[in-house]
Structure 1
Amino acid sequence: MTAGKGLRMQLWATGHLLRSRMIAPMGPRKLVGMTRILRTYGPHATTGFALAANRRPDGTGLVDERGSLTWQEIQDRADALAVGLAAQGDAPTSVAILCRNHRGFVDAFLAAGRLGVPALLLNTGFSGPQLAEVLEREQSTLIVYDEEFAGLVADARSRIPALTEVLSWVDDESATRDEVTAEQLITAHRGERPPPARPGRVVLLTSGTTGTPKGASRSGGGPQELAAMLERIPWHGEETVVVAAPTFHAWGFGQLVIAATMACTIVLRRRFDPEATLALADEHRATGIALVPVMLERIMELPAEVLDRYPLSSVRFVTASGSRMRGEAVTAFMDRFGDKVYNSYNATEAGQISVASPADLRHASDTAGRPVTGTTVKLVDDEGREVPVGEVGRIVVRGASEFDGYTAGDTKESLDGFMVSGDVGRMDADGRLYVVGRDDDMIVSGGENVYPVEVERAIGELSAVREVVVVGVDDEAFGQRLAAYVVPTEPDAVSPDDVRAHVKARLAGYKVPRDVVLIDELPRNASGKVVARDLPEVSS
């Protein structure tokens, strides 16, 4: 980047930070404090929380089922917990966090930063073997976890005898227990501060829908990356945002960090409930809701009389990412609540790639929108040549942040300075991106290439279908064949023959699934993605 272009980008970013009130007027003392924080923490995920406490120490920083905390209380709790964790056996090499959306997640993540060790964000949908495998691979010897996961942690302990355990959320705070709890440590060390340390990295895990998830870390793009998001999505500083997306997931965690950096009050609820999410937004006069697509779908499945109770008049944006959004759910939401939905296409390794505005989604409800400023997206063939507009190609990305590699030592494939996302898609003449699926999702059946998403979209047109996923299964004659797993809106609402006839009327014959399996629900992980390995097997 030339010096002139770099200066223009800095001015552009500053303009958006000012307009969104991310940068606010402040007196000399707070300005000095902000400068000290930036020098101490650098561009780290914990920085925003420290900046918010400097900016609004007595302002409400977080609300959960236990009540509210000011920004300064959040900082004080993190200091105390860090001191307490450091005293638990040997000095931790990392802090593994197995928590749902509540203050304990924030406490543990910030405490890890205070100790200068990695914070490993664990999927709350893990099985026992997955948890143990990840903890072993990441060499984690200290875990902070919710009481409901005690059984999983016990399984992991059988493989990692030296594992130090600290309970975070407990259902009954008054009960006597042998385990050490985070609240005990915070109370015992209140007012203490750990020795200064440069914050350790945050390790996010890939979705792991087909295998054990990988640990990934990324160098932040700083103000430019934040400004690129603020340019598209109307966040404003010092407002209130409901973060319903799982905070351990890259998308939910990013929304948590952005909210803190903007000094926005963060409203959390341990478990997602569609009506409760609407109620929280209305009760707290939230201007934003961050969720994953399946959450928006579940909201729109509520009865009309329930939806009528929550006008969401204060909400200015609902931002979603993490998986493909069903177009009919997006349209139904905007028809009822207004054009407020913003669909983000992100990757754990690449950060934010593109954003679809409400206008984009009105034009095409399945679009991932246009690349954000500072990010270049290309669609290439197997030889790395750009494909024509409208044709499907591999999505490669170059953005403001850099992928530092997986914790196991490997990294993403790159192509001429672009990271290969692993997704395939197409671009329309107006520059809108459409994600067709994963590169390895393509099904080759009888020599014909099929991307499941187009079959899923056709089946999803049926009013009797609640949701659907299409996968490839082994076939002796064709190599692979298509299997569709369909969740009807109610029992007997649709038959396999209905599904096949509908697809045959809209797509080529080789795209008609031979197997149509009717099931009660799709197996999903905590971030809403379908876990293919948990689908019922079909006979050969």
Structure 2
Amino acid sequence: MTQRVFNLADLFEVVVDACPDRLALIAGEVRLTYRQLDERANRVAHAFATAGLGPGDHIGIYSRNRAEWLEAMIGAFKARMVPININYRYVEDELRYIVDNADLAGLVVERGYLPKVAAVRDGASALAHVFVVADEHDDKLDGTIDYEAALANESGARDFEQRSPEDRYMVYTGGTTGFPKGVEWRSHDIFCSAMGGGNFGGEPIENPELLAGKAEGAPLVQMLTTPLMHGNGQWVTWITLFSAGTAIMWTGHRYDPVEILRTIEREGAVTMMLVGDAMARPIADELERGSYNVETLKVIGSGGALLSPSVKAQLVRLIPGLYISDSFGASEFGAGSSQTPGGRFPLKPKTAVLGEDLRPVGVGESGRLARTGYIPIGYYKDPVKTAETFHVDPDGVRWVIPGDFARVEDDGDVTLLGRGSVCINTGGEKVFPEEVEGVLKAHAAVYDAVVVGVPDARFGERVAAVVSLREGHTLTTDDLAEHARDHIAGYKVPRDLVVVDEVPRTPAGKPDYRWAKTTAAAALTP
């Protein structure tokens, strides 16, 4: 056996060998033990190699949540290849961009997406190997490989070359603006920064074999509702596996709070992971309406988008003894700390709030959140964006600074203000949408809200709210402003209200600020 290092495939195999017969994955009707998941991932790795793919090649995964998504990701790492997440909502032009920008040599795709693959493959000469996973569709494409048939012809044994902690992990992120960007990490860095480091909440482990100790206790059963095509979905899945837990993967084609709660009941989930109010509010509302036995559920975790205070209060009221872990993070930053009861965030080691001079700001001052230590290499094939986001301070320390603003409080914790790229500048005052959105969603009539800036002749921009309402409710601008003034400064209060049937969110639950800005501008233009 080769020496195990801080490589994602090696670390997974440590856990497999420690608890081979423990249930690792529940994905719809599929249930796989750690041994079975490992064997199928080995077959995937061998199938990739048989097709002619090799170490360092990029393999796209173009699918909704299903067991094969996870198998393909692990299999790619086993063969020292790089799995690339593809948003299944992409239109042809976006798919064409990813195939080209990510230099895809191979692709694992659900059959229903083959028409889009056919449309882009002719112009992508490097994309030579397409593995097709069966679904409810019957689309066909010449020159493809049947995924299950390929696995059936391969060995489930581990006979791979020595891996390296330098092997790459990459996640494509759409962010809030612009084309998707590939954030490139070393395996060791992403493990420590975003996947718990084998000691969630503490210092990372120093020896890969220490992960075997996670199998000594009872498995933690986690309900994972976020899509694997986003970094958050991948990270919480890896955290579960590196904890020797059981991952329940939501495989529904739409977000269904009824079935999610029934699954928690049936499987005895202890933790549920989701992203922000877009996922949490439907769960809370369904708990209000229905009758569910969720006494096993002790923790709800949210990452990628913060929960509003009103939704937190609703969940805690409905599930006695519930602990809510509300944390921030980014594809370039990794996982951040969890919010305290006072609404602030402790600064983890090797994190800071930096000013324009790349020095830590003082108490009461604002700056940009930054991290050093286990950080990415940069953006794939984008030296300009890399130079804008990664900086070396006067002492020679390299930091990643994605653009989230924060204020340092007198106790050393920080208050998150929001992402600078969506910040509204109204008369010289900065307004961070996330703060205002949290206030608006506490109004009894508001179901969801996104806040944007719209042009203003006097102030440059003014604050506008795009909201969807709860059934049977109405709302005026004056009603909303009166509510908001009790909680935020006057310049942050929305001066315009646009009511829509639904506020669209990404599959990861994040707001679509481009849509909101366009919608508000169209509605408010005379």
Under a length normalisation based on structure 1, what TM-score does the superposition of the two structures give? 0.82
Is the 2:284–2:315 Cα contact (8 Å) retained in structure 1?
yes
SS in 1 for 2:8: coil
Give the length in aligned residue pairs. Answer: 488
1:362-401 mapped onto 2 (5 Å cutoff): 363-364=342-343, 367=344, 369-372=345-348, 375-399=349-373, 401=374
444-453 or 137-146, which deviates more: 444-453
The equivalent of 2:184 in structure 1 is: 217
The equivalent of 1:203 in structure 2 is: 170
The alpha-carbon distance between structure 1 residues 506 and 202, as it changes in their structure 2 partners (threshold 3 A), is closer
The alpha-carbon distance between structure 1 residues 495 and 276, as it changes in their structure 2 partners (threshold 3 A), is same
The alpha-carbon distance between structure 1 residues 378 and 497, as it changes in their structure 2 partners (threshold 3 A), is same
> How far off is 1:524 after superposition?
1.4
1:60-209 mapped onto 2 (5 Å cutoff): 60-88=23-51, 93-161=57-125, 163=127, 164-171=129-136, 180-191=145-156, 195-196=160-161, 198=163, 200-209=167-176
Q: Distance in 2 between matches of 1:349 and 1:120?
A: 15
* Alignment match of 2:376 (pick from 399, 403, 414): 403
68-77 or 188-197, which deviates more: 188-197
SS in 1 for 2:402: strand
The equivalent of 2:448 in structure 1 is: 467
Is the 1:83–1:192 Cα contact (8 Å) retained in structure 2?
no
Deviation digits for residues 67-109 of structure 1, max 9, x if unmatched?
2112111122112222223333665821111222221111111
SS in 2 for 1:421: coil
> How far off is 1:466 after superposition?
0.9
Deviation digits for residues 223-263 of structure 1, max 9, x if unmatched?
7952552459xx96633222222223222211111211222
Is the 1:80–1:193 Cα contact (8 Å) retained in structure 2?
no
The alpha-carbon distance between structure 1 residues 253 and 383, as it changes in their structure 2 partners (threshold 3 A), is same
The amino acid that maps onto 1:371 is L
453-462 or 380-389, which deviates more: 380-389
The alpha-carbon distance between structure 1 residues 377 and 239, as it changes in their structure 2 partners (threshold 3 A), is closer
The equivalent of 1:331 in structure 2 is: 313
The alpha-carbon distance between structure 1 residues 504 and 334, as it changes in their structure 2 partners (threshold 3 A), is closer
Is the 1:244–1:268 Cα contact (8 Å) retained in structure 2?
yes
The amino acid that maps onto 2:346 is R
Is the 2:114–2:141 Cα contact (8 Å) retained in structure 1?
no
Q: Distance in 1 between matches of 2:511 and 2:140?
A: 39
> How far off is 1:281 after superposition?
2.1
Q: Distance in 2 between matches of 1:197 and 1:182?
A: 26
1:445-460 mapped onto 2 (5 Å cutoff): 445-460=426-441
Structure 1 residue ranges without an equivalent (≥5):
1-35
Is the 1:371–1:377 Cα contact (8 Å) retained in structure 2?
yes
Is the 2:284–2:318 Cα contact (8 Å) retained in structure 1?
no
> How far off is 1:402 after superposition?
2.4
Deviation digits for residues 500-531 of structure 1, max 9, x if unmatched?
34335654443333331111222211211111
The alpha-carbon distance between structure 1 residues 194 and 161, as it changes in their structure 2 partners (threshold 3 A), is farther
Q: Distance in 1 between matches of 2:24 and 2:487?
A: 51
* Alignment match of 1:414 (pick from 374, 391, 394): 391
Q: Distance in 2 between matches of 1:227 and 1:76?
A: 23
The equivalent of 2:208 in structure 1 is: none
> How far off is 1:183 after superposition?
1.5
> How far off is 1:385 after superposition?
4.7
The amino acid that maps onto 2:511 is V
Q: Distance in 2 between matches of 1:434 and 1:146?
A: 42
Q: Distance in 2 between matches of 1:89 and 1:409?
A: 28
> How far off is 1:342 after superposition?
0.9
SS in 2 for 1:141: strand
The alpha-carbon distance between structure 1 residues 428 and 187, as it changes in their structure 2 partners (threshold 3 A), is same
Q: Distance in 2 between matches of 1:206 and 1:492?
A: 36
Q: Distance in 2 between matches of 1:253 and 1:90?
A: 23
Structure 2 residue ranges without an equivalent (≥5):
204-213
Aligned pair 1:226/2:197, yes or no? yes
Q: RMSD of aligned C-alpha atoms?
A: 2.9
Is the 1:442–1:451 Cα contact (8 Å) retained in structure 2?
yes
Q: Distance in 2 between matches of 1:297 and 1:420?
A: 31
The amino acid that maps onto 1:64 is A
SS in 2 for 1:325: coil
> How far off is 1:492 after superposition?
4.9
Q: Distance in 2 between matches of 1:406 and 1:397?
A: 16
Matched-pair identity in %:
25
> How far off is 1:139 after superposition?
0.8
1:430-441 mapped onto 2 (5 Å cutoff): 430-441=411-422
> How far off is 1:214 after superposition?
0.8
The equivalent of 2:269 in structure 1 is: 286
The amino acid that maps onto 1:381 is G
Deviation digits for residues 372-420 of structure 1, max 9, x if unmatched?
4xx2332233344544434432222234x12211111432232522322
> How far off is 1:161 after superposition?
5.0
The alpha-carbon distance between structure 1 residues 240 and 501, as it changes in their structure 2 partners (threshold 3 A), is closer
